[in-house]
Structure 1
Amino acid sequence: MKILIVTYYWPPAGGPGVQRWLAFVKYFREFDIEPVVFVPENPTYPLKDESFLAKIPNGVTVIKQPIFEPYKFAEFFSKKETKTISKGIISGATKQSLIQRLLLYIRGNFFIPDARKFWIKPSVRYLKNYLSENKIDLVITTGPPHSVHLIGMKLKKQLGLKWITDFRDPWTTIGYHEKLKLTKASMMKHKTLEKEVLNSTDQIIVTSFTTKEEFEEITDRPISVVTNGYDQEEISEAFLDTTFTVSHIGSLLSGRNPKKLWKALHDLTLENQDFAKAFQLQLVGAVSDDVLISIKEAGLKDFIDLKGYVSHKEAIQIQRSSQILLLIEIDSAATKCIIPGKLFEYMVSKRPILAVGPKDADIAKLIKETNSGCFFEYHEYKSIKYQILEYFKQFQEGKLYAEVKGIEKYSRRELTKSISEIIKSI
């Protein structure tokens, strides 16, 4: 069976957006599926990781077409602000500069569904010709950016082909939508496009249970949950840090700012001399100014180790060496559906996870199910502090580890098997 995957993110793109379908492409042939991947020729990726290029399977066909992206013009206003917004790091409304407010308004109201919309028409023209000359059994579009789903929808309408939509994140309920300065007309256009896509596709795949429930209110099309997952990375043996490293890997957006956690950590440094000597807060990836200021204001300036963006291989190494792994999600009902890919990589590292997020978050269910750590809501200062102290005592005794269970079904090979079964059922 031959399928066409339409995606914006592909190596050398870095970050989590590229890893999901790169992994599926890696394993599809084991399930008698031959993938062809359609990607932009000249994309503007906010993060790059050249190491992902080596993970593209030999012989896989990758076809490309040029894309026009307005981010390059936006850089004339402010290169820094443009890069920050493209990474998803958006300051709170009261701290936004005039340029950032202007760029967000333009991004939200002139580029619907997103700034990659100019890739839709040329891609449809090119793919119509490609599909007429090459036998493809089914097309899959994966977003965000959700403009790729409009490519799939137009091909479906014009050619009547089978089409699956994969939503790595929700569309109109995603947390950052409220920061885009959308007018009522723009918001209505987003909702209309979302509904049209959800009711035109043959099958919907989502990464979380909450997103499935949300979409079931909009469409009666079949919806399957296929989460993100992990690979057993071939990495040299990791030795645990001798310090009590509490590490966060990935972007810390402005909204991911659990001040009660920062306070708990600071108070422990004041109350426990051994903790103060051993503790280190390790931040790997982009960190917003808002979060960094909060951490420093909490009195943790001398304990921060800012590493910036590292390769995926190095990130895995850090996860396996750290004593505690932080997982932080924005404290909003709109983000309870977010299950980041790094959660599964955290799990397989077998280091205890300390997660902070909104009430009824999907990540809480998975952490409990796999016994991989603890989840807290933002306000739970005493519980957070107590748990960190318990972890520290176990660290001192050399007994700190996570007795993880039942994570095999989240391996990317098993998830590819699930996707393959869905593909073959249509």
Structure 2
Amino acid sequence: MEHKSKKILFIAPASFPIMGAESIVNVKLLKALTEEGYQIDVISKDMKWANYPYQQMDEFGISLHSLTVVGVDNKLTIKTIFYHILTFFTFGVVFKGAHWAYLALKKAKRLVKQESYDYILTKNAPAELIGYYIKKKHGLKWIATWNDPYPTEKYPEPYGKGVDAEVFWGSKRLIPIMNTYPDIHVFPSNRLRDYMLKYLKVTIEKTRIIPHVALLDTCSKTEQNNDKLKLIHTGNVSHPRNPEPFLHALHLFYSEHQDLDMEVAFMGVLPENFTKLLEKYELKEKIKHLPAVEYTKSLEIVKTYDVSVIIEAPCQEGIFLPTKVSDYMQCRKQIFAISPAVGVLHDLYQEGHIRYFADCTQVEAIKATLNLIYNDFKNGNLSIVPPIKQEYTAKEVVNIYNQF
């Protein structure tokens, strides 16, 4: 069915520069939408993270109608205190970092007066404050995205204190705002939606499930390495994620296969205790550390490995959809999910979209899966990659946005 290309105001503090998981998710969505003819004005935040290299928009091949990057000072000064006070008087809400929304609102209001948008799309915090203001003052349709539990106090253990956690006093109006003003709530997984609906009074009809898009033309499929088995983990393994069960399982696996030539790499910034864990499990000579690189280069590196590893925190239920899932899918690589026994990644495993899975708390289960991967390597079966779930493709994702 033909559709009219939409014009949207896209509020995403984490988008440009392209740096970190949230910005990768947002930029991939922007690429999918603009390639379908969407006219998009983006308001982003000037992030300053020293640990991760970043890419600019032109390096990613995205054609926006406009891009505004709003910088803020996050240091505790009289000026930032004053901006936080103004934020509270403007939105009725304040929390650390919320002053970005106050500073970005001026540009958002100007764009709403100049353009005839189909809707405003908000991504990571504090974008929701701008969505709320524009919806309330101008009546523009608001599509609110929640890629993680929000407010942040309600993260599940061990990240936070769960659905019953008390919200910071300055943020108490957030949940009433979330209940009342968005026209549609977007979640990347049904488990996250169901978790948040335990404390939100939102009907299921006002929700949509839109996974992080996998851009299939970003990486071509590669065959498995024939000389040695190669596994890679990219990104964060800091608390509450725990790499120790995986490292322990590797130690046991190597003990059973002493002559095995296998490469295991971790890409990115590692926690302070990681070296001690390598020493504890006699892995200092067996684990390769790759520095963090810009996003597209990281995909090229992932292509040279056979299996991509995901390590999740030991939550009672895995409600998160890690950015790496769609990245690894689009690279057409096997995924080894070390995750909660009940959760989003286990669902994908049961559906046949992830080939290897082990409970993130069970060392023996992780070791058994390493043996399974090794046997598939010896038999030349690692190049047989599970199909990408249709809901993750750009075509399916854009189709949902067409319906808003």
| Residue 210 in structure 1 maps to residue 191 in structure 2 | yes
| Residue 12 in structure 1 maps to residue 17 in structure 2 | yes
Shift of 1:220: 2.0
1:270 to 229, 252, 255: 255
Kindly indicate whether the alpha-carbon contact (under 8 Å) linking 1:254 and 1:290 is maintained by their aligned counterparts in 2: no
| Residue 225 in structure 1 maps to residue 209 in structure 2 | yes
| Residue 22 in structure 1 maps to residue 3 in structure 2 | no
Aligned counterpart, 1:90: none
Kindly indicate whether the alpha-carbon contact (under 8 Å) linking 2:224 and 2:383 is maintained by their aligned counterparts in 1: no
Shift of 1:238: 4.5
Aligned counterpart, 1:84: none
| Residue 356 in structure 1 maps to residue 335 in structure 2 | no
1:62 to 55, 59, 66: 66
Kindly indicate whether the alpha-carbon contact (under 8 Å) linking 1:23 and 1:412 is maintained by their aligned counterparts in 2: no
SS at match of 1:417: helix
CA distance in 2, matches of 1:71, 1:366: 42
1:296 to 269, 279, 285: 279
| Residue 135 in structure 1 maps to residue 116 in structure 2 | yes
SS at match of 1:18: helix
Change (3 A) 1:114 1:355: farther
SS at match of 2:273: helix
Kindly indicate whether the alpha-carbon contact (under 8 Å) linking 1:258 and 1:356 is maintained by their aligned counterparts in 2: no
Aligned counterpart, 1:414: 396
The aligned length equals 374
1:160 to 115, 121, 139: 139
Change (3 A) 1:159 1:9: same
Aligned counterpart, 2:378: 396
Shift of 1:322: 1.4
TM-score by length of 1: 0.79
Shift of 1:234: 4.5
Residue ranges of structure 1 left out of the alignment (5+ in a row): 74-111
SS at match of 2:17: coil
Shift of 1:360: 1.1
Kindly indicate whether the alpha-carbon contact (under 8 Å) linking 1:367 and 1:375 is maintained by their aligned counterparts in 2: yes
CA distance in 2, matches of 1:304, 1:114: 40
CA distance in 2, matches of 1:176, 1:232: 34
CA distance in 2, matches of 1:160, 1:248: 45
TM-score by length of 2: 0.83
Kindly indicate whether the alpha-carbon contact (under 8 Å) linking 1:69 and 1:118 is maintained by their aligned counterparts in 2: no
SS at match of 2:349: helix
Aligned counterpart, 1:384: 366
Between the two proteins, what is the percent identity of the paired residues? 18
Kindly indicate whether the alpha-carbon contact (under 8 Å) linking 1:350 and 1:372 is maintained by their aligned counterparts in 2: no
CA distance in 2, matches of 1:162, 1:35: 15
Larger % of helix: which?
A: 1
Aligned counterpart, 1:50: 55
Residue identity matched to 1:187: F
CA distance in 1, matches of 2:28, 2:107: 26
Kindly indicate whether the alpha-carbon contact (under 8 Å) linking 2:313 and 2:360 is maintained by their aligned counterparts in 1: no
Kindly indicate whether the alpha-carbon contact (under 8 Å) linking 1:256 and 1:331 is maintained by their aligned counterparts in 2: yes
Aligned counterpart, 1:307: 290
Kindly indicate whether the alpha-carbon contact (under 8 Å) linking 1:22 and 1:56 is maintained by their aligned counterparts in 2: no
Change (3 A) 1:341 1:413: farther
Shift of 1:153: 0.6
1:36 to 37, 41, 45: 41
133-142 or 61-70, which moves further after superposition? 61-70
